[in-house]
Each structure stands twice: as structure tokens, then as C-alpha cells.
């Protein structure tokens, strides 16, 4: 029996999102479509608190915003005004002189068994409050509150949804390459709160979140029978998906969470099937003598992108969700695999192999506008941040002994390593938590 390793992340937001004042017309803004933007200088002051928690919350917010590449948090040692009372209007001159275009103030208070966190975002040049909210939660969830505040700041200034209050499920790898131990693990997007979800000698691969994040579908070699499984994160309960006569692999959820789409391998051929999780009925979507795999639904659920070597090499194809209208969309040099439809619907990310290199790239769903974001010895398996602006993938540098997780902006800039305690692969980014 599996141990209950997953502790439910409970956040009770009583009176969430209380706006203190109607947001002023924002003069401070970032256009994130511009590519390599100059990061916005922002002053994030220590939240007023009775203990170190105020500083800790502030540090998480600053780290999130800095990693996005769009903000440049100003060193606290440069601050002139000491914010004693976050309810009072700051002395904007003191912030303008250190070139802070935006200013964040706030407070964390323990009330009964709960934690109250509140923040205000100020435009220092217009002298107006751009946002202000307060949240209640259990004290152990203080990092989540910090991520939620970072998301609110990001959204107010960029006009886009943030992605900081999210998690990543991935495969943690340890031991030598020819005797690897693999475990499913889950962590916050910044690498904190890591929890191991499986602990056996069986190979586990390719985890993916359900849309409501209560479940993960993945592949396991348990019992010497490689198959697709479902894992309930809260209870640790596992079950096999379907009763197929061969290896099932490359599972993902449909956007409504009602189906799992995957490949079934039989006699050397791999075709794509769906299984309805309520009725347990299976539907075959492709029927070729080729390898059809790595399916990914469009966010509206009406189309599916997948890879197939039916034309000789791995290429990307798009079909309708009933399997009709299968059309090849990738025509560049090399082979294309692991397509993933953006949550915004506008792009498909992929792995490309060409000239002995592995790249991560994006193209439009009709195959036009291909752009390569990063190229090297081995880059594989992109996954989208829920706002469709950032991708995570895994990279193995030659001679490094294993792969690590990286994130990169859609622009191809701001590449960052995502910290994990061991080697890591197969990341899947969650939707925004609710």
C-alpha cells in the first residue's frame, strides 16, 4: 500500500481579493511581447510582521518576479524610506530617486490560527495605488500567499495572468545512468515544497496533471507490465487506465478532465486511443502501421496534435478530436516530436532533432512561424506555464551524467535552471492553483 505522502494544500481565502481602492490607470506597464525587455525596477519592501515571516514572504515575491525576467527587484540596502505603516501613503520621492518605478508594501499578521497577508502595489511616478488585496490562509501555506501576491503584481503590470502559484510534477532521477532510480515528484514552480509521490524500483515516466490537479496520469513498469496509471494526489490511490492488450504510454488528460489520451503499442505499431474515465469506453483515433504517439489536446478540446513517423521520420500532425482530418503540419529539416498545445491555443511547442542537436521550438497550429528557442546536445519535452508565456523542459549536457529542468521565455530569452535536488526529467507544469 502506498504511503500518504501528499499533503493537501488547503487554502481558505476568507474575504479573498478585497480591493482597498479601485486600481488607478496604470502608467507602469511591461509589454511582454517585445522580446528581450528591460526589466522593470521594482522596490519590494519587507512586509510588516511580528517575526521574520514578513521578510520571508517578501523574499519569495522578489524571487518570483526576478526569475520572470520582467522585473528587477531593487536591493533593500538602497531603500531610503523605511515603511513603518503600510496603511500610510509612501514618500514617493524617496522611491523615485532610487529609480523604483513600482513599490510593494504589505503586512502579515497571525490572527487566531490563521495568517492574514495583505499588500499594496504603488506606481511611484503617478503616486497612485495600482492594486491592493488581502488573503487569509493557514500559516504553513505562507509561500503560496507570497506566490499569489507575485501573480497579482505580475498581472497588474503586464496585463497577463501570472504563473507563480503553480506546481511541477516530474521524474526525479538518481543513481548511475545504467541503473537509474526514478520517482515521481511534485514541487512548487520555484523548486520548494518537494514531495516524492512514488517510491519503488519500477521505472516511472511522463507524469501529467489533470486539469483540476487532483490526479496525475503517468506510465509505470510495475509488475513488468508497462502501462498507464492514474494517481490520486490526495489519497495516493493508484489504478491502471483501461485494460489494453499491450503497452500503453504517453498519457495526457483532455482539457475537461474526462478522458485520458495515450498510445497503445501492439505488434510494433503504436496508435492513439482515448479512454473515457466515467464510462471506461475506449476509442481508437489513429490506425496506421507507424508510431503515433505524444498526443496533446488543443485547449478547446476539439483538435489534437501528435507525432507520427508514418512519413518516414517523426513529424507533427493535427487531427480532429474524433480522429478525422489528420494533417501533417511540420515540414522543416529534421524530425519533430513531443508536441504540446499552448494553454492559449496559439502555438504548439515541440522537440526538434536536426544535425545531431536537440532543440525546443514553437510553431503555429497550421505549421507556420516555426521558431527555435534553444538548441544543444539534448533538450527535450517542453511543457507550458499556464499563461502560455514560459516553457519548461529538460536538458542533458554531454558528459553531465543526467538531465536537469530549465525554463525559458517564449521569446527565447531568460533561460533559467529550475532547482531540483537530483537529476530530473519529464516536467509537467500545473494550471494556476485554485
Residues that bind another protein (CB under 8 A): 176-178, 180, 182, 203, 205-206, 219, 221, 224, 226, 246-247, 249-250, 263, 265, 267-270, 291, 293-294, 307, 309, 313-314, 337-338, 351, 353, 356, 377-378, 380-381, 396, 398-399, 425-426
Minimum distance from residue 335 beta carbon to another protein (Å): 9
- CA 267 from centre of chain: 36
Least separation in angstroms between residue 337's CB and another protein is 4
CB of 429 to another protein, least distance (A): 17
Is 67:162 a contact under the CB 8 Å cutoff? no
Residue 268 CA to residue 245 CA, distance in Å, equals 13
Q: Which residue has the cell 475537461?
A: 256
- Measured CA distances, 352 to 326, 355, 356 (Å): 20, 10, 10
* Closer to another protein by Cβ: residue 72 or 247: 247
Helices (H) and strands (E) in the chain, counts: 3, 29
Provide φ and ψ at 285, rounded to 5°. -105, -30
Cβ nearer to another protein, comparing 53 with 340: 340
Q: Are 217 and 207 in contact (CB under 8 A)?
A: yes
- Beta-strand pair 269-276/259-266: antiparallel
Q: How far is the CB of 219 from another protein (least distance, A)?
A: 8
Return the number of the residue (81 or 309) whose C-beta is nearest another protein: 309
Smallest separation, CB 267 to another protein (Å): 6
Backbone torsion region of residue 214, taken as left when φ is above 0, otherwise alpha when ψ lies between -120 and 50, otherwise beta? alpha
Nearest approach in angstroms of CB 347 to another protein is 19
Write the CA distances from 192 to 29, 165, 189, 338, integer angstroms. 29, 12, 7, 27
Per-residue cell: 154: 505580475
> Which string of DSSP letters, residue by residue, matches 211-236?
TTSSEEEEEE-GGG--EEEEEETTT-
Q: Which residues pair with 118 in a beta bridge?
A: 107, 134
Nearer to another protein, 70 or 290 (CB): 290
Pick 95 or 209: Cβ nearer another protein: 209
- Tell me how far, at minimum, the Cβ of 403 lies from another protein, in Å: 10
CB-wise, 123 or 307, nearer to another protein? 307
CB of 233 vs another protein, minimal distance in Å: 22
CB of 306 vs another protein, minimal distance in Å: 10
Show Cβ contacts of residue 269 under 8 Å, excluding neighbours closer than 6 positions: 288, 289, 290, 291
Place of cell 502608467: 27
Residues with Cβ within 8 Å of 178's Cβ and at least 6 positions away in sequence, in order, are none
CA of 122: how far to CAs of 28, 78, 90, 225, in Å?
Answer: 9, 18, 9, 57
Nearer to another protein, 84 or 398 (CB): 398
Angle between helices 53-67 and 142-158 in degrees, nearest 10: 40
- Cβ neighbours of 51 (radius 10 Å): 9
For the bound state, the minimum distance from the C-beta of residue 428 to another protein, rounded and expressed in Å, comes to 13
Residue placing its CB nearer to another protein in the complex, 377 or 413: 377
Compare residues 213 and 265 and give the one whose CB is closer to another protein: 265
Closest by CA to 188, choosing from 423, 424, 419, is: 419
Q: Which helix (H) or strand (E) holds 391?
A: strand 390-395
Q: How far is the CB of 210 from another protein (least distance, A)?
A: 19
Nearer to another protein, 124 or 220 (CB): 220
In this complex, which beta carbon is closest to another protein, that of residue 143 or of residue 313? 313
Amino acid at each position: 500500500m502506498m504511503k500518504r505522502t501528499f499533503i493537501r494544500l488547503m487554502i481558505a481565502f476568507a474575504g479573498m481579493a478585497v480591493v482597498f481602492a479601485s486600481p488607478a490607470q496604470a502608467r507602469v506597464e511591461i509589454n511582454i511581447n517585445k522580446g528581450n525587455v528591460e526589466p522593470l525596477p521594482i522596490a519590494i519592501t519587507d512586509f510588516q510582521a511580528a517575526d521574520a515571516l514578513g521578510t520571508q514572504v517578501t523574499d519569495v515575491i522578489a524571487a518570483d518576479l526576478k526569475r520572470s525576467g520582467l522585473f528587477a527587484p531593487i536591493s533593500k540596502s538602497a531603500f531610503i524610506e523605511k515603511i513603518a505603516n503600510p496603511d500610510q501613503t509612501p514618500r514617493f520621492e524617496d522611491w523615485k530617486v532610487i529609480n523604483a518605478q513600482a513599490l510593494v508594501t504589505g503586512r502579515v499578521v497571525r490572527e487566531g490560527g490563521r495568517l492574514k497577508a495583505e499588500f499594496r502595489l504603488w506606481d511611484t511616478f503617478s503616486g497612485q495605488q495600482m492594486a491592493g488585496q488581502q488573503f487569509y490562509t493557514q500559516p504553513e501555506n505562507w509561500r503560496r500567499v507570497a506566490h499569489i501576491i507575485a501573480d497579482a503584481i505580475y498581472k497588474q503590470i503586464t496585463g497577463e495572468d501570472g504563473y507563480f502559484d503553480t506546481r511541477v510534477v516530474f521524474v526525479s532521477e538518481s543513481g548511475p545512468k545504467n541503473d537509474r532510480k526514478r520517482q515521481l515528484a511534485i514541487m512548487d514552480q520555484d523548486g520548494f515544497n518537494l514531495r516524492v509521490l512514488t517510491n519503488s524500483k519500477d521505472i516511472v515516466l511522463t507524469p501529467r496533471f489533470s486539469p483540476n490537479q487532483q490526479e496525475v496520469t503517468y506510465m509505470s513498469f510495475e509488475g513488468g507490465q508497462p502501462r498507464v496509471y492514474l494517481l490520486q494526489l490526495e489519497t495516493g490511490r493508484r489504478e491502471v487506465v483501461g485494460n489494453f492488450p499491450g503497452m500503453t504510454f504517453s498519457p495526457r488528460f483532455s482539457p475537461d478532465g474526462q478522458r485520458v489520451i495515450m498510445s497503445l503499442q501492439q505488434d510494433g505499431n503504436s496508435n492513439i486511443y482515448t479512454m473515457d474515465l466515467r464510462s471506461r469506453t475506449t476509442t481508437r483515433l489513429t490506425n496506421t502501421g507507424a508510431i503515433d504517439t505524444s498526443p496533446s489536446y488543443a485547449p478547446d478540446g476539439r483538435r489534437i496534435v501528435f507525432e507520427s513517423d508514418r512519413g518516414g521520420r517523426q513529424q507533427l500532425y493535427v487531427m480532429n478530436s474524433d480522429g478525422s482530418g489528420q494533417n501533417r503540419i511540420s515540414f522543416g529539416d529534421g524530425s519533430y516530436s513531443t508536441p504540446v498545445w499552448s494553454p492559449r491555443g496559439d502555438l504548439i511547442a515541440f522537440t526538434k532533432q536536426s544535425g545531431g542537436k536537440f532543440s525546443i521550438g514553437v510553431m503555429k497550429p497550421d505549421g507556420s512561424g516555426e521558431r527555435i528557442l534553444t538548441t544543444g546536445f539534448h533538450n527535450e519535452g517542453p511543457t507550458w506555464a499556464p499563461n502560455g508565456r514560459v516553457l519548461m523542459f529538460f536538458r542533458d549536457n554531454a558528459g553531465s551524467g543526467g538531465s536537469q529542468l530549465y525554463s525559458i521565455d517564449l521569446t527565447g530569452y531568460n533561460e533559467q535552471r529550475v532547482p531540483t535536488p537530483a537529476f530530473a526529467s519529464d516536467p509537467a507544469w500545473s494550471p494556476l492553483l485554485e
